[in-house]
Structure 1
C-alpha cells in the first residue's frame, strides 16, 4: 500500500473536442487512476478515472453522499442543514436509512412499465413541437424550440407543476447550474426555487389533483405521511433533474449526430435500434461533466491508495465511460455498440431515479426530429455552437439549425 501522499492535481476541464472529455483524463487513467485532487475550497481529496473504480466507489457503503461534508470539485455553495438533512427529501445528499425510505417510496412511480405508458403523450408533445418548428420555418434554435420544452412539459405534467411557470423554474435551474454566477445569486435562486415548491405543495394539499406531488402528499406509507418540506424537496429534485438532463442530451445528441453523418444514416436506416443508439449517446457524451462526489466514512483503500476518513472522492463519470479497459474503441461514437455498463446515470443506490423516463423521451424525440426534417443541418459552423463549459450539466447553450 502506498503511504506517501502524491502531489495533488487540479480537475481537468479543457476540452480539445466538444464531444470528448478533457484529454488529461487519459493520462491520469493510465498513470494515476486514483489521483490526489485539489478542491477549490483548499482541501485535498481524490479523483477516480477508471470504470472499475468508479462503479466500486458508487456501490460502496463506506462512502457517504452527504454534501454538507463533501468538497465541490468546481465551487462550494453553502448548504444549510435543513436543505439536505434527514427526511428533507433531497435524495442525492442522503444515506441509508433516510435515503432508503424515500427511494423505496418513489421507485414504484418510475418503473419501466409506468414510464413506457407515458410514450403516447410524449409522442404527442414531440409532434406538436415539430409542427411548431415547421410552421415557424428555419432557422431555429433547437434548445428553445424542441429540446428544452419537451422534457419540461413532460415533467410538469408528471409532477403537477404548472407549465406556465416554466420560465421561472428554468431560470432558477440555469442559475444554480452556472459555475460562473456570483455565489449570492445562486443562493437567491436556490431559495426562490425552494419557496416556490413549498407554495405549490401547500396548494396541492388544499386542491389535490392526479399528478405525482398530490399522490406523494396522500401516500400513507408504513412510516407515515410526508410533510411539506419532504414533498417539496423531492419535487425540487425531480423538477430540476427531470427537464435539465434530458434537454441537454437531446440538444447535444443532435449536434453530435449532425457531425457524425455516417452514424446518423445508420440510425435512420435501422430505427429499430434506437434504444441501443440512446445508450451509446449517453455513454459517449456523459453530460454530468464533472462526476459525482462521495465522502469516506472510514479509512478505505482503493487501488493501493489510502483514502482517509472525511476525505472527498470525485468519481469522474466521463473518464469512466471512456475507459479502454471496459469499452472497445471508447473514443468512437458507435451506435451499433452492444449495451454496456456505462455510468452516465450513476451506479448503486443513487442511480438516477428518472433514467427510464429520460430513455423514453430520447427514444421518441431523436427519430421524430430527423424523420420530420431529413435535411436538418447546422445553421452555423460547428465551432460557433456555444458549448456549456460553464455549467455543471454539459451541452449547448444554443443549437442553430436549418433545413430544406
Structure 2
C-alpha cells in the first residue's frame, strides 16, 4: 500500500482506513492469495504470542511478500518455529544480552564521535546516509561478528538487493548466495583461527557438532544484514523526522537527561516503524479473534506500522512527541520472535541521538522534503540519501 507523498512518515492511508473499519481485514497479495491483515495493537500482540501462529516460511499459506525458492527459504531461525527456532536462537543470545551490550557504549560513542569529526572536517553538504547513518551500525556489527569492515561495500550492496521488493527472484537468490558463501568462508577461517567474536562462537558450535557450517553461515547472513540495515535506516529517517519537527529536535538536542534520550528513541521507533512489510505468519489451527475465525492454513500479516499508531493505545498517535512513554510499542515485535538485537539497536540510537545534534546544533536538510528519495520499494523503510549541511 503506497504512502501519501506529503506524509512520508505516516503509514499508508489505505492501511489506516482499514484500521478504522476493524481489527481484521482481507487483503490481496501479489500471487492472488487473500491473507488476513491485522490492523490493531491488541490483536497483533495476541497473535504474536499465540503458539497456533507459525513463522515457518515453508508452511502452505505463508503470506510471503515475494516469490521464495532455494536459498530464499533458508534465512535462518527467524523463519522457523520452536523448538528449532529456540535451539538456534540460544546460540547467539549471549552477545546481545543487555549487560554485554551496555559494555559496548564507550566503543560505540567513539565510532559516532570519529564519524562526526570526519563530517565536520569535510565538505558541505554531505549525505548523512553514506557518511554517518550506514557506517555507525556497520562498524558496530562488524566488530561484534568478527567481519572485516573493509568488505562493507560488498555486504551492503548485496543486502540492498535482498531487501528490495522489486528485486527479481534470480537476483535475490544470487545476493543471498553470495553473502552465504562469504560468511561460510569467514566461518571456515574462524575454525582454524578463532577470535573473541560471534562468528568464532558459531564456529565452535560447528566443531562441537551442534551446527552445520551452512547453518552457521546462514545465521551470520541474518545477523550481518539485520544488524546494519535496520539501524542505519532508523538513524537517517529519525534525523529527518526530527528536522521536520524542530521543537522536538530542540528538546532532544538541549537535554542532558539520559531518560529523555531513551524515551525519545522509543517514540521514534513507534512513530517511524521502518519494517515496512508487516510481520508474516500462518495459522496452524483455527483461531477465534475479534469476532472472526482465522482458519488453519490462512496467512496473517501483522501491520506493526499501524499497530503502533493505534489510538486506543497511544493518544494522538500521529503526533511525534519525544517525551511520550512509548515503551509498549511493537517495533521490535513481541513473543518468542521478538528482535534479538533490540538492546544493541537501542544503545546505538541513544548514542547517536544524544550526540549528533549536540555536536552539530545547526544541522539542517540541504534539500526540500519532496526531493529526498524515500525507500518505497524495500522491506526496510528509510531514505536512500539525506543531504545535510550546517
Whether 1:78 aligns to 2:64 is no
Deviation at 1:95, TM superposition (A): 0.5
The 5-angstrom pairing of residues 271-350 of structure 1 reads 271-272=256-257, 273-350=260-337
Aligned CA-pair RMSD: 1.7
1:143 aligns with 2:129: yes
CA distance in 1, matches of 2:72, 2:245: 46
The count of corresponding residues between Structure 1 and Structure 2 is 386
Q: Deviations over 1:289-335 (max 9, x none)?
A: 22111111011122111111111100000010000001111000000
The answer for unaligned runs of 5 or more in structure 2 is none
- Correspondence for 1:239 among 224, 247, 251: 224
Deviations 1:220-267 (A, max 9, x none): 99x953221221121111100000000000000000000100001111
Question: How far does the alpha carbon of each residue in 1:370-394 deviate from its partner, in whole angstroms, 9 at most, with x for none?
Answer: 1121111010011111100011100
Say which SS state the counterpart of residue 281 (structure 2) adopts. strand
Which residue number corresponds to residue 44 of structure 1?
Answer: 34
Structure-1 separation of matches of 2:116 and 2:230: 20
Measured in 1, the distance between the counterparts of 2:347 and 2:11 equals: 26
Higher deviation after alignment, 275-284 or 188-197: 188-197
**Length-normalised TM-score, structure 2:** 0.95
Post-superposition Cα deviations, 1:97-141, rounded to whole Å, max 9, x if no partner, equal 101112223222211111110010001111111111011131000
Please identify, of 95-104 and 62-71, the stretch whose mean Cα deviation from structure 2 is larger.
62-71
Counterparts of 1:77 and 1:225 in 2: how far apart (Å)? Answer: 27
List structure 1 runs of 4+ shifted beyond 3 angstroms.
70-74, 79-82
Structure 2 distance, partners of 1:301, 1:385, is 44
SS in 2 for 1:366: helix
Report the TM-score when normalising by structure 1: 0.92
User: Is 1:148–1:247's contact at 8 Å kept on the other side of the alignment?
Assistant: yes
Q: Paired residue for 2:158?
A: 172
- In structure 1, stretches of 5+ residues that fail to align are 1-11, 85-89
Secondary structure of 2:253's counterpart equals helix
Tell me, yes or no, if the aligned pair for 2:71 and 2:177 is still in contact at 8 Å.
no
1:14 corresponds in structure 2 to 3
Describe the SS at the equivalent of 1:313.
Answer: strand
